[in-house]
Amino acid sequence: MARKETKAEQKARVLKVLEALDREYGTEFICYLNHETPWQLLIAVILSAQCTDARVNMVTVDLFKKYDSPQSFAQADLKELEKDIHSLGFYHMKAKNIISCCKDLVEKFGGEVPSTIEELTSLAGVGRKTANVIRGNIYNEPSIVVDTHVKRISRKLGFAKAEDPEKIEYELMKVLPKEHWILWNIHIITLGRTICVARSPKCGQCFLQELCPSAMPVKAGKGEH
């Protein structure tokens, strides 16, 4: 890029990006992990580490019938739970974390999923990303979830510079209006899965092409970066 974007210019571009995302994807809060209760979503998010949401949904359909409460998971046999979630990868650590997490839910929080970032991150297997998923989807608390799509595309758009997800979260909190924090993750996941794909971004097909610094070379050349 020739000259550095001013804060006013970035603010105007951010609003245009958000308007384009809203037009393209709507403003409905969507969660791609199937769940009926807060604790089911918490477990589904723990299971989703290094795994697709679709694959998690295939497993939880039976898992949540077998284990129908946090108490049930808290009392689960580790080896048996490992077999139940084996296909999702990292099954030993996930099973261990789920049992420990649910024990704390039962013993410390009366079986209810807490709402604060501090309480949530005190649970086994729950980092800021998982905590923010719960806060946004269950409690409608403005929160930014930084997954691989959000990290990659936020950097491409020039809205974040850091590598660390937590630092990116704070960068985006300064750039994005609060009412769009939850939607940002929903929209960017969709964009990252369909158009701004990691290995071969389809910049020529992207409705954000004119607003994305990383897409600018496409106009002059034939290839996509």
Give the residue extent of every domain in the chain. Answer: 7-29+145-216, 38-137
pLDDT at position 2: 55
Report pLDDT for 41.
Answer: 98
108: tokens are 């410390």
Question: What pLDDT shows up at residue 216?
Answer: 52
Contact 31, 137 (CB under 8 A): yes
pLDDT band for position 153 (50/70/90)? very high
Count the neighbouring beta carbons within 10 Å of the beta carbon of residue 131. 25
| pLDDT tens-digit map of 90-145 | 999 999 999 999 999 999 999 999 999 999 999 999 999 999 999 999 999 999 99
pLDDT one-digit tens code per residue, 47-81: 999 999 999 999 999 999 999 999 999 999 999 99
Whether the Cβ atoms of residue 46 and residue 126 lie closer than 8 Å to each other: yes
CATH topology classification for 7-29+145-216: Endonuclease Iii, domain 2 (1.10.1670)
Is the domain spanning 38-137 CATH 1.10.340.30? The answer is yes
What residues are annotated to the active site? 129, 147
Q: Note the pLDDT of residue 219.
A: 45
d(C-alpha 121, C-alpha 135), whole Å: 11
78 close to 46: Cβ distance less than 8 angstroms: no
Joined tokens for residue 97: 């974390």
Provide, rounded to the nearest whole percent, the portion of the chain with pLDDT above 70: 95
